[in-house]
Amino acid sequence: MRALVTLASDRICLRQWRDEDRDAFAAMNSDARVMEFFSSRLSREQSDAMVDFIQKHFNQHGFGLWAVEVPGIAPFIGFTGLAVPSFSAHFTPCVEIGWRLAFEYWGHGYATEAARLALGYGFGTLALAEVVSFTSVTNHRSRAVMERLGMRHDPVDDFDHASIPEGHPLRRHVLYRLGAGDQPSRLEE
């Protein structure tokens, strides 16, 4: 099995998941504020299954949705990282970047900082040509992270997410793209 990387900045650490993270992850997945832009909150079983899936993804690809730790503040605040979507759309196959933090850790810049670490790894070590991100049209906090990262949105890329039923208000998604050549130099800081 390949060694799995840990990434760190002055404030945060992106690390592999531990069993102790599962309680905090289940709590955030049952929080209506965190899950506002998903079709439903997750049960404990669904939350644990997601951790299992994330760990399988790391073993398959060598990268994934890292657990985010803020040393001295909290051992686990959520996840940020890179993933290969399992559905088909006009922009797949691709590598996406995604994030989900517990509500009490919003508003500190942690998601953007964690995403910069993940993008530095994706464009550096993995030599990716492009990273995409997508979310429901009305998820303005997530879109703001994408925009802070310098990702670009072209409305011609917007799409209906296949796993959300027709007529559901969250079905319409925006797609943001960042190419290796577009990356701001601070990603490598």
Ligand X SMILES: CC(C)(COP(=O)(O)OP(=O)(O)OC[C@H]1O[C@@H](n2cnc3c(N)ncnc32)[C@H](O)[C@@H]1OP(=O)(O)O)[C@@H](O)C(=O)NCCC(=O)NCCS
DSSP string, 106-129: TTSSHHHHHHHHHHHHHHTTS--S
Does 29 sit near ligand X (CB under 6 A)?
Answer: no
Stretch near ligand X under the rule CB under 6 A, chosen from 51-59, 67-75, 137-145, 150-158? 137-145
47 binds ligand X (CB under 6 A): no
Span near ligand X by CB under 6 A; candidates 52-60, 117-125, 135-143, 149-157: 135-143
Residue 76 within binding range of ligand X, rule CB under 6 A: no
Tokens of 119: 């993008």
Minimum distance from residue 161 beta carbon to ligand X (Å) = 10
Candidates 29, 47, 139, 183: give the one binding ligand X (CB under 6 A). 139
CB atoms within 10 A of CB 70: 17
Smallest distance, Å, CB 83 to ligand X? Answer: 11
Q: Give 150's contacts (C-beta < 8 A, 6+ positions apart).
A: 178, 182, 183, 184
142 interacts with ligand X by CB under 6 A: yes
CA distances from 18 to 15, 67, 68, 91 (A): 9, 8, 11, 32
Verify binding: residue 141, ligand X, rule CB under 6 A: yes
Q: Which of 21, 50, 95, 98 binds ligand X (CB under 6 A)?
A: 98
Residue 162 Cβ vs ligand X, minimum distance, rounded to whole Å? 15
The radius of gyration of the chain's CA atoms, rounded to the nearest angstrom, is 16
Whether residue 87 contacts residue 12, with contact meaning beta carbons closer than 8 Å, is answered with no
CB 187 within 8 A of CB 119: yes
With tokens 């985010």, the residue in question is 68
- Judged by the rule CB under 6 A, the positions of this chain that interact with ligand X are 34, 37, 98-101, 106-112, 135, 139, 141-142, 145
